[in-house]
Structure 1
Amino acid sequence: MSIGSTAFSRNPLFRSRTWFGRVRDAMREFSERSPSRFAILIFASLVLIFTVLFSLPISSATGKATGLADSLFTAVSVICVTGLSTVDMATHWSVFGHVVVYIGVQIGAVGVLTLASILGLVISRRLGLRARLIAASDTNPLRMHHGPVAEGQAVRLGEIGSLLATVAISALVIELALAVLLLPRMLIDGIPIGEAVWFALYYSAMAFTNTGFAPNAEGLTPFANDYFFLTILMIGVFLGSIGFPIIYTLSRSLKGWKLRRKHKKLNRPPRWSVHVKLTLVTSALLIVFGAVLYIILEFDNPKTFGSLGAGDTVFQSFFLSVMTRSGGFSTINIPDLNGSSLLVTDMLMFIGGGSASTAGGIKVTTLAVLFLAAFAEARGNQEMEAFSRRIPSDVLRLGVSVVLWGATTVAVASILILQISKAPLDFVLFDVISAFATSGLTTGLTASLPDVGVYIMAATMFMGRVGTVTLAAALAASQRQQLYKRPEERPIVG
């Protein structure tokens, strides 16, 4: 937004005299002063709206109003695309309630800051600089900080408008493609066509948004051995978890490849940014790493993979590895996992998916940066490097802050839930991390919590989805510019 237009909007002589115009001007000014607080306000408002919708008698299958704790928790779980629930999602809600769930996960999947940008575009009828900065912060939280930010990344500031279009189009296209692939399989299984269409659309949405709700009471049990069905779900979860900036970059690369092929040009394809490479490589390594550990830890567990053949064990291990990162679907009972497997799942859930994705967690690039810093320190290098590029130290500081605040959130919530429920530590830690990382897997503890525990878990989900970086930026009125440096002294570390 230009200085002239800002002064125009703040001048009371030029303010709109209609109530809608005044509301629009007030929201525009608030978004300019603090984009992150504006985003959190929108997110909290959505939670409030959906809480009211879920509490209505029309949303319940029994026609009775749903209690505040269950309504609020469901609203947070839906908007945060978590997948945890305190009620049976398949049987508790009416057709209207299921439609609200479906719409809610679509809204929540686009992300806090991207949603704020789209709303700002609707309010101001154009995408100005401030709106671009808000959306850009969802693809790169470093833009929240004052000072220069390198633009050699997945999405440049001038491409934010195209990114917002990619968010909407990719979500629609991918979910429809997944539904088209799932529909014939459901028809073959004898599901009536109307119900099959709804199930296909529902499962495709829950896969791409990494939510993990199931529309049928049996969940994935009827499809536990249907590897075609499970593979489609894995593809949907993976595409949703890598992040919209990655999808945008891949779509641009595909378009460029088609143009080069059409015109028979042999130009080199566009170079992918370090963010894209780190996200794809780290995601692939974590999937393989998780699957190998599940094979080793669960191959002799009669309650999980012990009775399966070698091929079935490998497939189910890969399916579980993909779903732990935020997918939320499961073909086994989570409490039946060995304690070692529960701990591995805790780690994978805490890491989560890619930045600006439908997945939660601290994000795979955060983990990659921490490991790159450790490798650089072990080699005695002063700079972090990846793919022939240098990574500045402020990225490391941001990564450490994300991990620290995430771990603090999990620790505080775990202590409170332990005191309230008196449940085993491994179950409490599992469900709390699942809530923070918006994974949706559960040991069954969440559904048995009293109301106070439900509220704590809802707050944990909100903290995890909003993002520690966004929340920290919202709580700080402004960054203080320090015009002096104190004497340097090195404490002993390690």
Structure 2
Amino acid sequence: MRRRFQTRLQHPAQIVATGFGTAILVGTALLTLPIATATGESSGWLTALFTATSAVCVTGLVVVDTGSHWSVFGEVVIAGLFQVGGLGIMTMATLFTALLAGRLGLRTRIAVATETKSVSVTDMRRLVRNVVAFSLASEAVIALALTARFMIGYGEPLGRALYLGGFHAVSAFNNAGFALWPDNLMRFVADPWICLPIAIAVIVGGLGFPVVFELAKTWRHPSRWSVLTRITVVVTLVLLAIGTLFFLAAEWHNPRTMGALDDADKPLAAFFAAVMPRSGGFNTLDIAHMNPSSWLFTDLLMFIGGGSASTAGGIKVTTFGLLAFIIWAELRGEPRVNVGHRRLPESTQRQAMTITLMGVVLVAVSTYGLLLLTPYSLDRVLFEVISAFATNGLSTGITAHTSVAGHVLLSLLMFVGRIGPLTLGSALALKERTRRYELPEERVIVG
């Protein structure tokens, strides 16, 4: 029996999925304890499960107010869950193995390569140490900036300021979107000393560790950047610029969002709104009162998400960029897809198209299911579904009011979105098959 179980978990993707599932179960168990709530009464398994799933999957969707419902113990548990979820279960497991055993097995190195999207499985111990060190250092810098602002600008005592700064720094860098105020960050909409550090943390955390490490070494020489770094940086900057301009135009006169702000504060609010669909999940504008056009545009940004091997969700900006090159090559009739001075392998093209198509199908099916379970309109339900799939956390305000079945559906969607459609599909396959022959080719009419 034990040997059969080990055989079924030999595929790295299976190990990653099992690790995330285990973390969710542990978090659920901790959050069901009476000590985890402010009232001292158990929250019940569904609330605990949804919150634990949202935290581990670094989503940020909630069915209860984080700051008032949970105790300090519960908030610390939630912060720990999205810290673990952001770094990756396999990354944490490999770090502990490296520190305790001093050496890593091949299976463990392959598992971490699957989680971090690393091209090579060599020297995985150093990779994991760099990832963890960079993450903790980034969170510490953002936490200090926020702590100083809470003390100087809002008169918070040192202990409370440190707690607020640390919680939101970890939440921002891991693109978790959990906040300790009922209105998320709407009270800070005009405060650049709060909004900008959180936005920077979301952007850096959403770039992806391979891109960040490469930029740290070659930021002065863009010509040396890899295809991954070029696509990630360019697409990210383009989406941020377009997003900022769009929200400025769409919400400038909306009295329930930007209309009430001073003109000088509107660019900051628009920039923050453009950053958060990367998978940040925070909001300084009332999402529920945005124009429908802003909802649709946010849907698109959330679905694209952030960088590969990052704490962000979505199909990833790399996938989106690769699809653009694939389409451009097809329109020009070129037999090969080239990115800069590099040729894109056919396997990478298939992977990009598979991830995108699986994401579209999953969102469509889940939207239809949630429509059957809730009385809300299509635009609100679609927004919620994409937010869950992209592990984003932005909401039009209907999450807490959906049915039990709706909460279960969104929980499953967050789990699948965090693991990744392709990774989860691989995890469900009991074994890989290698075709030892080729079939005759036949042209098929397309379109």
Please name the residue that 2:131 is paired with. Answer: 167
For 1:163, the aligned partner's letter is: L
Structure 2 residue runs without a partner (length 5+): none
Please name the residue that 1:236 is paired with. Answer: 201
For 1:89, the aligned partner's letter is: T
1:449 aligns with 2:398: no
- Which of the numbers 327, 342, 348 marks the counterpart of 2:295? 342
Deviates more, 1:436-445 or 1:188-197: 188-197
- Which of the numbers 74, 81, 89 marks the counterpart of 1:104? 81
Residues 95, 129 of structure 2: 8 Å contact kept: no
- In 2, the alpha carbon distance for the partners of 1:192 and 1:380 equals 64
- In 2, the alpha carbon distance for the partners of 1:492 and 1:56 equals 60
Q: CA deviation at 1:128?
A: 2.8
Residues 244, 357 of structure 1: 8 Å contact kept: yes
* Aligned ranges 1:145-294 → 2 under 5 Å: 156-188=120-152, 189-253=154-218, 271-294=224-247
Q: CA deviation at 1:160?
A: 2.8
Residues 206, 279 of structure 2: 8 Å contact kept: yes
List 4+ stretches of structure 1 deviating above 6 A. Answer: none
Q: SS of the residue aligned with 1:166?
A: helix
- In 2, the alpha carbon distance for the partners of 1:404 and 1:115 equals 31
Deviates more, 1:427-436 or 1:380-389: 380-389
Q: CA deviation at 1:168?
A: 0.8
1:76 aligns with 2:41: no
**Relative to structure 1, is the Cα distance of residues 489 and 291 closer, same or farther in structure 2, using a 3 angstrom cutoff?**
same
Q: CA deviation at 1:333?
A: 1.0
Q: SS of the residue aligned with 1:157?
A: coil
Q: CA deviation at 1:120?
A: 5.7
Per-residue CA deviation, residues 109-132 of structure 1 (Å, 9 max, x unaligned), is 012543454466578652233222
- In 1, the alpha carbon distance for the partners of 2:424 and 2:101 equals 25
**Relative to structure 1, is the Cα distance of residues 218 and 294 closer, same or farther in structure 2, using a 3 angstrom cutoff?**
closer
Please name the residue that 1:59 is paired with. Answer: 36
- In 1, the alpha carbon distance for the partners of 2:100 and 2:359 equals 33
Q: SS of the residue aligned with 2:279?
A: helix
Please name the residue that 1:88 is paired with. Answer: 65
Per-residue CA deviation, residues 449-477 of structure 1 (Å, 9 max, x unaligned), is 12111111000000000111211111122
Q: CA deviation at 1:310?
A: 4.2
For 2:247, the aligned partner's letter is: Y
Q: SS of the residue aligned with 2:110?
A: helix
- In 2, the alpha carbon distance for the partners of 1:94 and 1:275 equals 42
**Relative to structure 1, is the Cα distance of residues 156 and 96 closer, same or farther in structure 2, using a 3 angstrom cutoff?**
same
For 1:39, the aligned partner's letter is: V
Q: CA deviation at 1:247?
A: 2.1
Residues 363, 385 of structure 2: 8 Å contact kept: yes
Please name the residue that 1:412 is paired with. Answer: 365
**Relative to structure 1, is the Cα distance of residues 366 and 111 closer, same or farther in structure 2, using a 3 angstrom cutoff?**
same
- In 1, the alpha carbon distance for the partners of 2:97 and 2:426 equals 19
* Aligned ranges 1:299-318 → 2 under 5 Å: 299-318=252-271
Residues 133, 157 of structure 1: 8 Å contact kept: yes
Please name the residue that 1:131 is paired with. Answer: 108
Q: SS of the residue aligned with 2:175?
A: coil
* Aligned ranges 1:281-430 → 2 under 5 Å: 281-430=234-383
Q: CA deviation at 1:270?
A: 9.0
- In 2, the alpha carbon distance for the partners of 1:32 and 1:80 equals 21
Deviates more, 1:112-121 or 1:158-167: 112-121
Q: SS of the residue aligned with 1:36?
A: helix
- In 2, the alpha carbon distance for the partners of 1:435 and 1:32 equals 27
Structure 1 residue runs without a partner (length 5+): 1-22, 141-153, 258-267
Q: CA deviation at 1:427?
A: 0.4
For 2:143, the aligned partner's letter is: A
Please name the residue that 2:20 is paired with. Answer: 43
Deviates more, 1:122-131 or 1:176-185: 122-131
For 2:270, the aligned partner's letter is: S
- In 2, the alpha carbon distance for the partners of 1:481 and 1:203 equals 47
Please name the residue that 1:434 is paired with. Answer: 387
Give TM-score, length-normalised by structure 2.
Answer: 0.94
State the superposition RMSD in angstroms. 2.3
Give TM-score, length-normalised by structure 1.
Answer: 0.85
- In 2, the alpha carbon distance for the partners of 1:185 and 1:31 equals 51
Q: CA deviation at 1:394?
A: 1.1
User: What percentage of aligned pairs have identical amino acids?
Assistant: 40
Q: CA deviation at 1:39?
A: 1.5
Residues 116, 134 of structure 1: 8 Å contact kept: no
- In 2, the alpha carbon distance for the partners of 1:32 and 1:45 equals 14
For 1:196, the aligned partner's letter is: A
Count residues in correspondence.
446
Per-residue CA deviation, residues 104-158 of structure 1 (Å, 9 max, x unaligned), is 1110001254345446657865223322222222343xxxxxxxxxxxxx75433
Q: SS of the residue aligned with 1:402?
A: helix
